[in-house]
Amino acid sequence: MTFFATASARTPRLGTWIKLATVESVDIMADAGFDFVVIDLEHSPIDLTLAARMISAASAYGVDPLVRVPDHQAGTIQRVLDAGARGILAPRVDSVTDAERVVAATRFPPLGQRGAGGTSRAGRWGLMSRDEYVRVGNEDVVCVPQLESPAAIDAAAGILAVPGVDAVFLGAGDLSLALGVRMNDPVVKESLDRARAAAAAAGKPCGAACVDASSAVGTAALGHQFLIMGNDATMLARTAHSMTRAFREQMGATS
């Protein structure tokens, strides 16, 4: 699986969420040096048409475009992959059955049930041979379930054992909500530790989100092979607030 080929606990792959409905966000994050972007169809107004343009832009920059799909619907997953996504993050994968459903939508027969769409971008508009199109879809496209509930943590070993699951992503925010505690509660840490241990035992990469460089370094130290640091919307908001605050403070100091 070439997406994770250069990843390790010492040098995890670094990505960021794309939530703003503008292709320029992908341009900016690619220029900033991220290894991949995750186009978020679950928690943003981005639609499939715009997602396809973002996938194309990221690919042109040599940045891997992943897409977080909004659900487990095979039709949505297929269209995202036909648009050329490098892989998907699937939210709320709580069981082995959920994982099998997502994998089936991601892989071609006999490994899954994805339909052939070789005239799409994923098939180079019909110029890629059928054999190569199927090989890329079954070998190079990544399928990453999100573990973000107590049930998912309990089922982590089984989910990771499903053929076609390439890695898992730990959703601490939703997990803490489901547990009814804050993210820094010891029960959240214990749950995440169990999921990381399951991933390590399965020999599969494990990823997590972080808010800034300092938290990313700390998260990497836990053994993650890929990190999603920040998002375009919050980066813009923080910079805007910081600049206006600094201006008013400096003006006040000179008056």
Taken as a whole, the chain contains a residue count of 255
Is 43 among the catalytic positions?
yes
Task: State the average pLDDT over residues 203-212.
Answer: 96
pLDDT confidence of 253, banded at 50, 70, 90?
confident
Amino acid 1: pLDDT: 58
The whole-angstrom separation of Cα 231 and Cα 25 is 10
Instruction: Give the count of beta carbons closer than 10 Å to the beta carbon of residue 221.
Output: 10
pLDDT, tens digit (0-9, with 9 covering 90-100), for 179-195? 999 999 999 999 999 99
pLDDT confidence of 8, banded at 50, 70, 90?
low
CA quadruple 24, 25, 28, 29: dihedral sign: negative
Mean of pLDDT over the chain:
96
Q: Give how many domains the chain has, as a whole number.
A: 1
Rounded to whole angstroms, what are the CA distances from 212 to 15, 32, 101, 235? Answer: 12, 14, 33, 10
The whole-angstrom separation of Cα 103 and Cα 88 is 10
Rounded to whole angstroms, what are the CA distances from 116 to 53, 105, 230? Answer: 21, 11, 35
Amino acid 4: pLDDT: 85
Enumerate the β-bridge partners of residue 134.
none
Task: State the average pLDDT over residues 102-119.
Answer: 97
pLDDT, tens digit (0-9, with 9 covering 90-100), for 31-54? 999 999 999 999 999 999 999 999
Which H or E element spans position 64? strand 64-68
Q: Which two tokens stand for residue 50?
A: 């715009």
Q: Which residue out of 43, 72, 224, 241 is catalytically annotated? A: 43
Q: Which two tokens stand for residue 224?
A: 């993650």
Amino acid 5: pLDDT: 76
Q: Which two tokens stand for residue 49?
A: 């048409």
**DSSP 3-state percent helix, strand, coil across the chain (nearest 5):** 50, 15, 35
Q: Which two tokens stand for residue 118?
A: 């070789």
Q: Is the pLDDT of residue 134 over 90?
A: yes
Task: State the average pLDDT over residues 57-83.
Answer: 97
Q: Where are the alpha helices (DSSP H) in the chain?
A: 24-32, 48-61, 74-82, 96-106, 130-139, 150-154, 156-160, 172-179, 186-202, 213-220, 232-254
Higher pLDDT, 2 or 8: 2
The whole-angstrom separation of Cα 231 and Cα 238 is 11
Q: Is the pLDDT of residue 255 over 70?
A: no
Amino acid 254: pLDDT: 76
Amino acid 9: pLDDT: 58
Q: Is the pLDDT of residue 13 over 90?
A: yes
CATH number at residue 148: 3.20.20.60
Q: Tell me the residue range of the domain where 32 lies.
A: 2-254
